[in-house]
Amino acid sequence: MFHLHGHSLIRQSSSLIITVPTQQYTRGSGSSSSSSNNLPKYNYRLLMLKRGSFKGALVFPGGNVDDGIDRSERWEQLARDPSSGALSDHNKDMLAYKICAIRETFEETNLPLFSPYQKAIQVTNNQDRTSTSFLDLCNTHDLRPLTGLIYPHSHWVTPTQMPRRFNTQFFICHLGKIAEKFSPSPDKQKETLASLVDRLQVQENEIVKSMWLTPSEALDACSRREITLFPPQFYILNELSKYNDWKELQKLNEQHRSCEYWHRDPTMPILPEIRVKPDDPERVVMLLPGDKEYPMDDITDNAFFACSGQSNRIDMKRRDGGMMGFEDYKLISSWLEPHLSKL
């Protein structure tokens, strides 16, 4: 769906952060840099995709909301089935965002986030993900999207200065939790995880490469300009880098929280403000809610940040001198100190 905001057209979209326990990541490989040996240790990795578009940036799976599919009334019945987990938010917009995240993840990576799990595996084997409607697939085979096992993480709106704008709800999903739900024993859980990871097959007309990375590996590679990140992904990775255990993240997500440092509603839009640095026009500052200079009129409820005298911003350089992309990020946040001091 598209919405007009001022003079810009805003695309509604979803993105899904996927974690897998470390011992199960087997394909796509992590950072090959020797410096990765000195990075903090995690018991999980994140799935990141390198797109042919967006200047080859690494992103999480996702895409634009398709009103004809993602807003079908049929999802209200399919998503509320008890076998797919408790649906904490029956709001139609949030449900559409969740369906979009699961649909795009399936189309881009072949990961079937449905129940019944074994039936989903059988039905989607050798499935042409481009020729069959996602809604028809689920409706015909009574597959239930696991909306209860993906949790809102944060909601980002592209700054007004940018020529292409997105209204993106980020979710997070832990494959370890899915394995626990569908497998009764630790050995069976390992088998379920292995089957999920082994199914990873990217959509070649859109995705160049898939990678399983820890948060710090991704941030370290970005600092060395081996990969490109957009500001939301850079900030989210800094948030995630604080948590070495995916089960700790899971507990926070079940509490409808993305970070223990504040009680930000993960569905409340974050609209960054970009300001050019007067002493260096090639560098800009992206102000975020919680920063002492963030315009309070632009947000309805900022009290939970208690932002007096605090900083929450990204200092960055315009890539190629333009406004289409950025690099050389420096996070300045009283709320999130980067895991790596050099980032």
pLDDT, one tens digit per residue, over 96-121 is 999 999 999 999 999 999 998 888 88
At residue 38, what is the residue type?
Answer: N
pLDDT attached to residue 130 = 66
Q: Which two tokens stand for residue 303?
A: 């009290």
Q: What is the pLDDT of residue 340?
A: 39
Mean pLDDT of 280-307: 71
Band of pLDDT at residue 282, cut at 50, 70 and 90? confident
CATH of domain 2-263: 3.90.79.10
Mean pLDDT of the chain: 81
The residue type at 294? Y
For residue 49, the surrounding DSSP H or E stretch is strand 44-51
- Asked if 304 contacts 336 with a C-beta cutoff of 8 angstroms, the reply is no
pLDDT band, residue 279 (cuts 50/70/90): confident
Does residue 57 register a pLDDT over 50?
Answer: yes
In the numeric block, which tokens belong to residue 275?
């300001």
On the question of pLDDT at 219 being above 70, the answer is yes
What H or E segment, with its residue span, contains residue 46?
strand 44-51
Cα–Cα nearest to 84, from 63, 56, 112: 112
DSSP H or E run through 92: helix 92-109
Whether the model pTM is above 0.85: yes
| Domain range summary for the chain, segments of one domain joined by + | 2-263
Cis omega before residue 231 (within 30°)? no
> Which residues have CB under 8 Å from 256's CB, separation 6+?
88, 151, 152, 265, 266
**Are the C-beta atoms of residues 20 and 45 closer than 8 Å to each other?**
yes
**Residue carrying structure tokens 């009334």:** 73
Answer for the pair 324, 55: CB distance below 8 angstroms, yes or no: yes
